[in-house]
Structure 1
Amino acid sequence: MRKIGSWAKRGLFAVSPLALLLSMSVSAAGPAEREVAPKVREALQRDLGLSPPQLAQYLKVERLAAGQQEMLAASGDDRFAGSWLERKANGDYQLVVASTSLAPKRGMADVEFRNVRHSLGRLADAKAELDTLAERGAKVPKGVYGWFVDVRNNTVTVNVAPGAKVSAIDFVASSGADAGTIRFQSMASAPRPLATLKGGSEYLSNDGSNYYYCSVGFAVTRQGEQGFATAGHCGNAGDRAFVAVNRRTVSQIGAFAASNFPNTDRAWVRVDNNHSLLPVVDGENQGDIPVYGSTEAPVGAAVCRSGRTTGLHCGTIEAKNVTVQYPGESVNGLTQVKVCAEGGDSGGSFITTPGQAQGVLSGGNYSCKGKQARLATSYFQPINPLLQAYGLTLKTSQ
């Protein structure tokens, strides 16, 4: 075992709410409007507690937000503090856009503009201080599980074990990060890589001595070769990959062409051409979920995870660019999701309701059994940096 126009120059919110919302409705067209697979609808309603009308309203707001996050982030406004999807008390969803200099105002019913203390740039700088300290070899205290820019709380949130807050405070202080931006959040169970136990579709990796169960992420190609994206901790470059024929026999399908772990958690397995790789995600025998692209979903969006151990489960994106401290290893650039996973699910796919690939499972805490499932947090390696790092092309459905 072993990552625009002139209005923008005047400030993001100088434009009228009507013009902003008009751009939202125009940008929301396209792949996001594809029909949501029935199995995904079922899992979303089950895991997020949505009624059919609530799911329809969520999908409307998701489409609205999908076309806006890149525009908002690239607006050039240093007051911008992030945007996310948020569920209101009545069960409906809205897009929240935050700024450090914004008079209270309302747009359409599905959008709220919110004033906050810290800009996104200030929060990113504080997180960068923590990242730099760890990258320089400083020992991350036991019980400090990671940190991330938390746009919903307008902080840099540090996940810590119960009783570890004092050592976490000392670690933050030694980094030079702006203490005013820091928030500590208790996490009762430590995240860990999930390929150490049995555990889309199943494959096994072999390092020459042992076999490890993992899950296929997404089908990819490179210069005429085919393979799949998966987690880096599932195998090193050169390790062989297999599928189980029966309980005692395995058959080699290929080998790890490249792998990176820790720091990032990404890999791809080159698969022999006599095997088939489909551009879909396993929907637990209820119909495959087509992959149409890899448009990145915003914080607050719903995503569904598929893996060989626990099947299909859905949750919401809580944060991006999260640094996670696994036992003895640190991984950067992960996305944090409120969803369960178990050993063997590692490398499995995260996909949105419109069929947009998001990433491959890295790790998590708790399990999908009983009450633990509601406490669980998982992390995925975003798919687009993985594809770019290895020069891969995502296979998509027509």
Structure 2
Amino acid sequence: MRARWLAVAAAAITLLTPVPANAATPDGPDLPDGMLAAMRRDLKLDDGQIATRLRTEAAAPVVQRRLQTRLGSAYAGAWIPSGATRLTVAVTDSSAFPAVRAEGATPALVSRSAAGLSSSRAALDRHASSARPSIVRGWYVDTPSNRMVVMAAPGSEKQAAAFAQAAGAGAVSVVAAEQPKPLYDTRGGDQYVINGNTLCSVGFAVAGGFVSAGHCGGTGSPTLGYNNVAQGTFAGSSFPGNDYAWIRTNGNWTSQPWVNNYSGGNVTVAGSQEAAIGSSVCRSGRTTGWRCGTILGRNETIVYSQGAVSGLARSNACAEPGDSGGSWISGNQAQGVTSGGTGNCSSGGTMWFQPVNEILSVYGLTLTTTGGGSGSALISSLNNKCIDVPNSNFSDGVPVQMWGCNGTGAQKWNFVNGTLQTSNNKCLDVAWGSTANGAVIQIANCSGNAAQQFVLSAAGDLVNPQANKCVDIDAWNANDGARLVLWECTGGANQKWRRG
């Protein structure tokens, strides 16, 4: 099946009006109803399973980055196995097992390093221009199986293997695959109109505009918004090779940290931390609304009929014509914009998205998020009080407490490289590096150790990845002065937090 552009007639526009985000439910996953419903439907999970999964996924990128740096050439990739509560990290040397376990991950011994697999992929990328779409569909590193995979048109496996050999890619596995196709199509997921006749979906709002897919329009193409009002112009676009663009909007449009959940509300965007392979991910688009799935791979190359596109991420969340350019988000972290794929939302399929961080980097853009640079409070769902440094005493080893929110520096916290830092750059810390229930939560000089790594999941859990446990208000004490401890994550209100 040849790749084809999937334009949608402008007459089919359905107008959507932005509305405020739904209120969070303190005792359940802190997600809008539309996103929860999509995760229940597409991932077949209940609310408790969703909350557990979001905790695991929030912690995984922190652990992955630390171990990738620490393990060096022995590192061979990382992923979250289906149903697991910890990240699996592959290594080529069993002597690295203790280092992996010390970070709260599960080690796996494999034969090929991440660097070796990346070298194989790079060799194929250098020969992308000679990949014939009628024979080669694309290629990617399959991290869990520790192999380089080349996708071939059914019946063309031998020719695809010959292409890989000629490229100097080394050992590869060849699998039959359908022909991926681009999906045509300032709040993420809303539709917009290009050149008056083509529909795509907004990716994410940035300062001065939004990002989307490159195949939606070329530089200089004019756009109309979801309401058919003049919106802006493509300020940059790249396709094939890449599949990204950014649209500069006029003064009538305000960038918001929102993605349309197609259930009467918005999902807020807090950042763009790249989620681990195996993480859940949801996408928004004007044709099929909210759809969820799992991230199956990264840094993959797909050969469309128009040419090869490299650096894409793969998922089993479905999409259809008109969804192109739309938002992909994991928890509250922006992941990318829809490029193309195979199948549909009736029979299922495989989709690829262009990672958002590359777009931001190439064009020097700033993602519009809910976060701020001056620090924010961490507020409990139990009592609406704030995590506080007692008497603004920022000495090493001072246990933190709960206190009525007062806006002082003792209650301002910043997430910095996986740590949670006070206004004067002390770090939240688990006393003595303990992973036991009841370990005291304190502040200490920032040292970079695993006891000072914390992530706030989209479900509102403040997790220490090393222990895979939550920051907990001890004994459900709702009063001022209540102390914080590390404890097994239970989903209770005394373990639920939000920024404010």
Alignment TM class, shorter chain as reference: 0.7 to 0.9
* Corresponding position of 2:242: 264
* DSSP-derived class of the 1:267 partner: strand
In structure 1, what is the Cα distance between the partners aligned to 2:226 and 2:259?
A: 19
CA distance in 1, matches of 2:107, 2:149: 22
Contact preservation (8 Å) 2:137, 2:179: yes
The one-letter code of the counterpart of 2:194 is S
In the alignment, structure 1 residue 237 sits paired with structure 2 residue 236: no
Taking only aligned residues, the RMSD between alpha carbons, in angstroms, comes to 2.2
Match of 2:407 in 1: none
Pair 268,158 (structure 1): closer, same or farther in 2 beyond 3 Å: same
Q: Does 1:338 align with 2:320?
A: no
Deviations 1:237-263 (A, max 9, x none): 101101365xxxx43211101111111
Q: Corresponding residue for 1:21?
A: none
Following TM superposition, by how much is the alpha carbon of 1:269 offset from its aligned partner in structure 2, in angstroms? Answer: 0.6
Q: Is the 2:236–2:245 Cα contact (8 Å) retained in structure 1?
A: yes
Matched to 1:154, the amino acid is: N
**Residue 227 of structure 1: how far off its partner (Å):** 0.6
1:185 to 175, 178, 182: 175
The aligned residue for residue 162 of structure 1 is 154
Q: What residue in structure 2 maps to residue 8 of structure 1?
A: none
Is 291-300 or 279-288 further displaced after alignment?
279-288
Give the one of 202, 216, 219 matched to 2:202.
216
Give, in whole Å, the separation in 2 of the partners of 1:282 and 1:44.
15
Query: Residues 1-398 of structure 1 correspond to what in structure 2 (within 5 A)?
Result: 35-75=30-70, 77-87=72-82, 91-102=83-94, 107=101, 111-134=105-128, 137-140=129-132, 142-179=134-171, 182-187=172-177, 189-195=178-184, 200-206=189-195, 211-221=197-207, 226-243=208-225, 245=227, 250-353=228-331, 355-369=332-346, 372-373=347-348, 376-398=349-371
Tell me how far 1:107 sits from its aligned partner.
4.5
Cα distance per residue 1:9-43 (max 9 Å; x no partner)? xxxxxxxxxxxxxxxxxxxxxxxxx9333332222
Q: Give secondary structure in 2 for the equivalent of 1:178.
A: coil
**Compared with structure 1, are the counterparts of its residues 139 and 148 closer, same or farther at alpha carbon in structure 2 (3 Å cutoff)?**
closer
The DSSP-based 3-state class of the residue aligned with 2:353 is strand
Aligned residue for 2:318, secondary structure, equals: coil
Q: Distance in 2 between matches of 1:82 and 1:36?
A: 29
Paired residues in the alignment total 340
Which whole-Å CA distance do the structure 1 matches of 2:34 and 2:46 have between them? 15
Alignment partners' CA distance in 1, 2:36 and 2:103 = 24
Asked if the contact 1:93/1:110 (under 8 Å) is kept, the reply is no
Kept in 2, the 8 Å contact 1:124–1:149? The answer is yes
Q: Deviations over 1:120-147 (max 9, x none)?
A: 111011111111122xx42435132111
In the alignment, structure 2 segments of 5+ residues that lack a partner are: 6-28, 372-500
- The offset of 1:76, in angstroms, is 5.0
Q: Select the structure of larger CA radius of gyration.
A: 2
Following TM superposition, where does structure 1 have runs of at least 4 consecutive aligned residues deviating by more than 4 angstroms?
103-110
Alignment TM-score, normalising by the size of structure 1: 0.80
2: CA distance between counterparts of 1:360 and 1:255? Answer: 18
CA deviation profile, 1:362-385 (whole Å, cap 9, x unmatched):
11111111xx12xx1111111111
Cα 1:281–1:337 shift into 2, 3 Å: same
Query: Which segments of 5 or more consecutive residues in structure 1 lack a partner in the other structure?
Result: 3-33
Q: 1:142 to 1:93 in 2, by over 3 A?
A: farther
Deviation at 1:61, TM superposition (A): 1.5
- C-alpha contact 2:60 2:86 (8 A) present in aligned 1: no
